[in-house]
Every structure is written in structure tokens, then in C-alpha cells.
A = this chain, B = another copy of it.
Amino acid sequence: MKTPYLLFLGDAVDIHYAKTASGIRDWRGEHCLGQFRLPGCPVDLGLPDMTPHDAAAGGAGTMILGIANDGGFIPEVWVSSIVAALEAGLDVAAGLHDRLVDVPEIQAAATRHGRKLYDVRHSSQSFPPGNGIKRAGKRLLTVGTDCAVGKKYAALAIERSMRGAGYHVDFRPTGQTGILIAGRGVAVDSVVADFIAGAAEWLSPANDPAHWDVIEGQGALCHPAYAGVTLALIHGSQPDALVVCDDPGRKTLSGLPAFLVGTIDNMIGLTEAAARLTNPAARVVGLALNTATFAPDAAKALLAEMTQKYGMPTFDPLRTGADALLPALAHFA
């Protein structure tokens, strides 16, 4: 996808719906030229406001739909803005369940102006079933005590720290926001059941023995709706190292108030047992906490307490970065 990006926030009423835009701003800020909001949109990523015309004049290559609604559809009110971006000379990318190419006005405008449409949640790739055979190269996978608990941010922070330390490393996204951040990947939640593990094997192919793939986790082994996706991703990824991600303020599973989030102890045990089917040496090497709601001193104290309690490096992807994890990864060299 051509950089830099214009992030479309549309009519989002809450930062919660702009998770994709926030992710790109947080992790690929150098590629973000501005934000494009419809009148009355209160969400602000702190980027300059601009129209598609302004953005194109400023050198933007692609407008990314940075918002999602429940259901992942493309509402009528966004269509004229998307068409305007195509007319202004921008490509358009989205990670929604609905496809840009299926909206006739959008497809027609793209054809008319010779622009590209990216529907990253939908892969045209077909995958074989998994084969479980060990591949060269090293792999780290993030797992969580719930969905939406920071697995993507943890993986991105780990990639950044490892790259800074001189590792050959690639972030391997498995969801639409990660794909829009990295410009490639597979949305495993859209893969047909029999091929999820195979898609994970494809996503992280054999590589140089010293190379690391840092793979974004999905779902949670303790989540009644999505544990199957998590397990298939664990088996296909064959991780050497795993990092358990947790939101210390959360008590019940997102969307399922009758279920408690997984405990860190339980997730370490379940995850290692599952991972050892395809990699007997797999082990959890660190914890990632989202301490956003904690005051700085309280966050620091919590990270220190957990490091001590579990005997493994504990970090906050945004607050501290993942440098604390590096010594644990040196053991795999």
C-alpha cells in the first residue's frame, strides 16, 4: 500500500470504534499524514485534519478506513467520502467484513480513476491443512487472558525491541488492523475452519535459523467463542516462545459477563500444554500488561510485582516497550 496514509475516522463517536486508526497511528505514525473526519466526529487522533484533496496534494498514497462498527459493514454515509478519496487520486484500504469492491459506486469510482482497493480481511489465498512439521527459524506468539487484551500491541512492541537489538525479525499479523499496520498478513478469523492451522503455517514460513517471526495472537484459550481459533494458531505457529497478555483491570470476558477472564497461571499452563503438541520445547517467556488505567507509579509497581511473582519479564507494550524481554530471548540463540 502506498504511503503516507490518510486515516478516515468517518462518523466514529468513540475512540473504541477507531481501533484500526489508533493502531496505525501508534505503530506506524511515520506513515500517517493526517486524519479525515466527517462533521461532528469527536474522535481525535492528534493528526492534522485534512480532506482527501488536501491529503493527495500533500503526497498521500492511500486512505485507510480506520474505523469499524459492530457488524463490520460499510454505511451509506461513508460512501461519498470513499469515492472522493478515489477521485482525489488516493487508493483506499479497509479491513471490514463488508468489502469495498462489493459497493458498486466505490468499485466504479476505482475503475474510473485507476485506483486500487484493498480489502485486507479477505484473502484470495487458499491454504492447505496444517502438517505440523517443524520449520527452520524461531517464532514467538502472543496469547491472552481474553480477546482484545493487547496481543497485537505486545507483538509490535516485541518486534520493535528485537529490531532495535539487531535481531532479524518480522511482525506477522493475523487480524485486519495488524495487516493494515504491516501491509501484509492473514486475517485468520476469516479462514475456513479446516485451514486455520495451515494458514498459520503459511504465514510464518521456514526461514533462516536465527530469524524470528513475532506472530500476533487471536482470541484466547479460555474464551468459549474463539478458543478454537487460538488453538489452531498455536499449533500452526509452532512457537518457541510465548508471551501471555493481560488487562489487569478486567474481571470478565469481553462480551461474556458470565465468564471470568483467564488467570495468568492457568493461561501459562494451558498455552504451554497446547503448544508442545507441535513444538515440545515451547515455553512462556514473559508477560505483557496493559496498564493504561494505572497511574505511572502504580503501573511501575505492578510490573515489578508481576516480574517477581512469575519469575519472568513483565512489560507494558506502550508504556515501557518490550526491551525487558530481550534477555529471555537471548537464550534461544
Nearest to A190 among chain B residues (CB) is B192
Contact code string A276-289 (vs B, CB < 8 Å = 1, else 0): 01100000000000
A93 CB contacts on chain B under 8 angstroms: none
A228 touches B232 (CB 8 A): yes
A192 touches B194 (CB 8 A): no
The answer to whether the Cβ of A235 comes within 8 Å of any Cβ in the partner chain is yes
The answer to whether the Cβ of A131 comes within 8 Å of any Cβ in the partner chain is yes
A132 touches B277 (CB 8 A): no
The answer to whether the Cβ of A222 comes within 8 Å of any Cβ in the partner chain is yes
The answer to whether the Cβ of A165 comes within 8 Å of any Cβ in the partner chain is no
B256 touches A131 (CB 8 A): yes
Interface size on A, residues (CB 8 A): 34
The answer to whether the Cβ of A137 comes within 8 Å of any Cβ in the partner chain is no
Can you list 21 A-B contacts (CB < 8 A)? Answer: A130-B226, A131-B225, A132-B258, A132-B259, A133-B258, A189-B193, A190-B193, A190-B194, A192-B192, A193-B196, A193-B228, A196-B228, A197-B224, A222-B277, A224-B277, A224-B278, A225-B235, A227-B232, A228-B230, A228-B233, A228-B235
A132 touches B224 (CB 8 A): yes
Of all A-B residue pairs in the complex, the 9 with the closest CB atoms, nearest first, are A228-B232, A132-B224, A130-B225, A228-B228, A129-B225, A189-B194, A228-B231, A224-B235, A193-B229
Contacting residue for A277 out of B192, B193, B227, B229, CB 8 A = B227
A131-B224, A224-B278 are known; give 11 further A-B pairs, CB within 8 A.
Answer: A130-B224, A131-B225, A131-B256, A132-B258, A133-B258, A225-B235, A227-B232, A228-B228, A228-B229, A228-B235, A229-B232
The answer to whether the Cβ of A95 comes within 8 Å of any Cβ in the partner chain is no
Contacting residue for A225 out of B192, B198, B226, B258, CB 8 A = B198
A192 to B132, CA, bound (A): 21
Instruction: Name A272-319 residues within 8 Å CB distance of B.
Output: 274, 277-278
Contact code string A119-162 (vs B, CB < 8 Å = 1, else 0): 00000000001111100000000000000000000000000000
Instruction: Name A232-274 residues within 8 Å CB distance of B.
Output: 232-233, 235-236, 256, 258-259, 274
